[in-house]
Structure 1
Amino acid sequence: MEWEAARQHYSAGNMLLGSVDHATFGVPLGFYYLAAGTGHGLSSLSRGEYEQAMRELTPVALLATLYVGGKGVRTVYEARGGAAGLQRGLEAVRGRVSLLAERTRELRTRLGTGEEGLRELARYIQASREAGRFVAVGGMDAALALYEARGEVAKARPLMSKARPGATGAPPGRQGTLASLVDEGVGHTPAVVEAKLAAAEQEATGPRLPTDVRVLQQHRPALDAPPPEARGNPRWREYVDYYDKRLGEVKKGEASKGPLKWEGYEPLRRWFARGLAFERDMVKRLREDALKPRAERRFLGDFDNPRIETQVGVRKPGPGLRYADVLVIEEGEVGGQPRRVETFSFKSRDLSGLKYEVLEAQMIEDAREALRKYGERLDIRRDSLQSIFPENSEVLVQRVRLVYEGGELMPKNDKLLKRAVDETEAAVPGVEVLFQ
């Protein structure tokens, strides 16, 4: 394989191509070596079958694309060159990078975590030959499953079905990239994902079109003609379905708002996916916390025997039916006292660049929203919980935990952040604010 790679690398047509693989992508193995340990991908490349090679070289291609960014290759492509072999190399570079960029955009979108999610997935692939082989054979579905399983191939295999069309039970016309957001283990069923996305869409502040059938017909998007900024984005199909559905609702007089424009829908969906990923992580942390001795718990120290329920339908006057991210109920003996109930609301919001006044106002608004939807008294709509509250499905919530995603989304000034948290908790009693 080393001899064959060198021969191809220094042939007339591939000289530049091989150099760009090494210098521009920053990956020592370039495209001529295989993470999966077979020769099929190399053979496909030598025959020019790039689509087949892409599936076989997924691990290497993923790693390479993290370093592309388009700028270095574009500069090389626009450079002058006279030889036919050089030109073929340039054409191959552009075609290959274009395909890589498209695959990577799709993967980044379906991960919902941006470039950091891609880098984490790349680390999983680098760490294990078995993981590389798993992704090389399974392609996009396997990559998503491996990410969900935190790099453990044994756990990733049964997750692959969740990423495949039709496996989730979602209506065929509405699957798209939403199927990748389904996770039954944390309560993200197809119905819940659809409902939560619908609620987020109604509250989105992005630019919209009016509720005018003539205008909506005039601006109706076509699946095969996306705007330049949507080309290669797997959410475009989903957006077209969303637009058509809203158009139908407008025609029937059932819609209070027109559809979001693409430039409003795309960031909504990106943050929605990131928010669901944060929810999944927090649910896992809460379940781990519940297994610890009471004195060692980080979140559930006020419970003797906590029962964790996810995505519980709750109803209140005003907000109507909502899905509480997490509902925690005391299952132990209560000695005639009201059973302790707490709710958790998780937020992925970029607070890092806000001035203090804006930061405080945003956090107070989020806390009031969490209290309004998931605090005070709730009518629990899940039948399986009725035996715990036989006298009444309406229960008193002792505390709402508003948990923000931390890391790069957090304000950098710790003192100002603590002040904002204190002011928020003072302004909205019954809500505790945390960053994780």
Structure 2
Amino acid sequence: MEREGAKQHYSAGNVLLGSVDHVTFGVPLGFYYLAAGTGHGLSSLSRGEYEQAVRELTPVALLATLYVGGKGVRTLHEARGGGVGLQWGLGTVKVRVRLLAERTRELRTRLGTGEEGLRELARYIQASREAGRFVAVGGMDAALALYEARGEVAKARPLMSRARPGATGAPPGRQGTLAALVDEGVGHTPAVVEAKLAAAEQEATGPRLPMDERVLRQHRPALDTPPPEARGNPRWREYVDYYEKRLGEVKKGEASKGPLKWEGYERLRRWFARGMAFERDMVKRVREDALKPRAERRFLGDFDRPRVETQVGVRKPASGLRYADVLVIEEGALGRHPRRVETFSFKSRDLALLEEDAMKAQMKADASEALRKYGETLDIRRDSLRSLLPGGSEVQVPRVRLIYEGGALKPTDVNLLKRAVSETKATVPGVEVVFQ
């Protein structure tokens, strides 16, 4: 095994790959992403196609043009004798080069500055390893944000939220990607979206691969060879990244579960996107409700001057630090009464197809979870709310609102629904169940 590993490590294709990586970033970013998953190196580029192809590649590949040039790569290939390893996977790498060329033409158009814009973007990437990682992980949206922020990654990260269809001229195909779920106006920052997706992935019940590094390597997905059901799906790239991350966690012994198979991940992402959209709409409705006269409010009639906050960190000894979808706190005069605080939890869950017993059990489980995480006694961790809590950060939450998405997800039997809501309220006092 050691001999075979050494032979593979020092094969002509891998040495070429590592050499080009070294002269770009010094870390496995650059050209690694052109050949990752194939194990065949850069055969198409090293066979004289480099000069023609690399002019249209992403800014990461453009760096190799600036620092190595086609002649350098071809000379390296010839010096190695053009070993047989460089011939493997030629067709696969050609496909990848062609896809990258298409993406770079799109990037050039969206930059609106031609070749000079690409060169400037390349200089930003080359100047900072952090910038290189940012673009490698975030793709075109990250590249555009980095260019707009003039190479400053700290400023580029919040700009990623603008890389949504209609905001930066992104084509309709951008819809469905993780970046499209970012909406900082309702608290859905990139970090929040990623954290919520990670939590949802841990709870997903879809089919998974085992936590076996050998098996995971055998089933490793390739970016340019998706299964028929994933072709044209904007989330395939995201799935490949997710799989690679989980494989790394398994290798380090840090994973608690194996990765979802593609069909399970795609189902998770569809529901996750729907849930985030519902949460976004409900945040806006609660904020609008807060602006109405008290007598006209639907949700916040018990408040005088409600202050609506999103993604608020709250801690409880049993559940640890959690983030409430919405926390409402009284800003008005208190008199002798304690400051009122309520929390909201939003759920997109298909209850319409469940049998009565299963539906009741699910609603009770959701209500119990909401109470355990966001009800009773909470320690509010957000510093901006400390001025409203002179007696300390611990508050009592008399009511948690569990709001389900209605429409097609809502049971059609009105009497059955009433029974389920009444039983949930009796079983889990302190939680109000509402269908929107």
| TM-score normalised by structure 1 residue count | 0.60
Contact 1:164 1:179 in 2 (8 A): no
CA deviations 1:146-176 (Å, max 9, x no partner) are xxxxxxxxxxxx9993417998xxxxxxx99
In 2, Cα distance between the equivalents of 1:303 and 1:269? 36
- Aligned residue for 1:300, secondary structure, equals coil
Q: What is the identity, as a one-letter code, of the residue corresponding to 1:271? A: W
Match of 1:388 in 2: 388
Residues in 2 aligned to 1:366 and 1:391: alpha-carbon distance in whole angstroms: 31
Note if contact 1:324-1:374 (Cα within 8 Å) is conserved in structure 2: yes
CA drift of 1:209 comes to: 1.2
Measured in 2, the distance between the counterparts of 1:357 and 1:250 equals 38
Deviation of 1:394 (Å): 2.1
Where does residue 432 of structure 2 map in the other structure?
A: 432
| Letter paired with 2:394 | E
SS in structure 2 opposite 1:350?
A: coil
1:195-344 matched pairs, under 5 angstroms = 195-344=195-344
**1:312–1:357 CA distance, 2 compared to 1 (3 A):** same
In the alignment, which residue of structure 2 is the partner of 1:409? 409
The alpha-carbon distance between structure 1 residues 411 and 345, as it changes in their structure 2 partners (threshold 3 A), is same
Distance 2:380 2:161 in 1: 33
Alpha-carbon contact 1:344-1:400 (below 8 Å) kept: yes
User: Does structure 2 retain, via aligned residues, the 8 Å contact 1:176–1:238?
Assistant: no
Measure, in 2, the Cα distance between the counterparts of 1:378 and 1:343. Answer: 10
Q: Which residue in the other structure is 1:359 paired with?
A: 359
Unpaired runs of at least 5, structure 1:
1-140, 142-157, 168-174
| Structure 2 Cα separation of the partners of residues 335 and 402 of structure 1 | 29
Q: Secondary structure at the match of 1:386?
A: helix
Output the amino acid matched with 1:414: V
State the partner residue of 2:66: none
Q: What are the superposed Cα offsets for residues 360-380 of structure 1, whole Å, 9 maximum, x if unpaired? A: 111101101111111112222
Note the C-alpha offset of 1:334. Answer: 1.2
Normalised to the residue count of structure 2, the TM-score between the two structures is 0.60
- Counterpart CA distance in 2 for 1:159 and 1:280 is 18
1:103 aligns to what? Answer: none
Which runs of at least 4 in structure 1 moved beyond 4 Å after TM superposition? 164-167
The equivalent residue for 2:129 is none
Could you tell me which runs of 5 or more consecutive residues in structure 2 were left unpaired when the two chains were aligned: 1-140, 142-158, 169-174
Over residues 23-65 of structure 1, what are the superposed CA-to-partner deviations in whole Å (9 max), with x where a residue is unaligned?
Answer: xxxxxxxxxxxxxxxxxxxxxxxxxxxxxxxxxxxxxxxxxxx
Q: CA RMSD in A?
A: 2.2
One-letter amino acid matched to 1:194: E
Counterpart of 1:429 in 2: which secondary structure? Answer: coil
Aligned match of 2:185: 185
Question: How has the CA–CA distance of structure 1 residues 318 and 245 changed in structure 2, closer, same or farther, with 3 Å as cutoff?
Answer: farther
- Distance (whole Å) between structure 2 residues aligned to residue 432 and residue 400 of structure 1: 6
Question: How far is the alpha carbon of 1:288 from its aligned partner?
Answer: 1.0
Residues 165 and 408 of structure 1, relative CA distance in 2, 3 Å threshold: closer
8 Å Cα contact 1:162-1:183 kept in structure 2: no
Shift of 1:316: 2.0
Q: Secondary structure at the match of 1:349?
A: coil
What count of residue pairs does the alignment treat as equivalent?
273
- 1:74 matched to which residue of 2? none
Q: CA deviation at 1:389?
A: 1.3
Per-residue CA deviation, residues 372-423 of structure 1 (Å, 9 max, x unaligned), is: 1111122222111111113322221111000000011100011110111011
| Residue in 1 that maps onto 2:3 | none
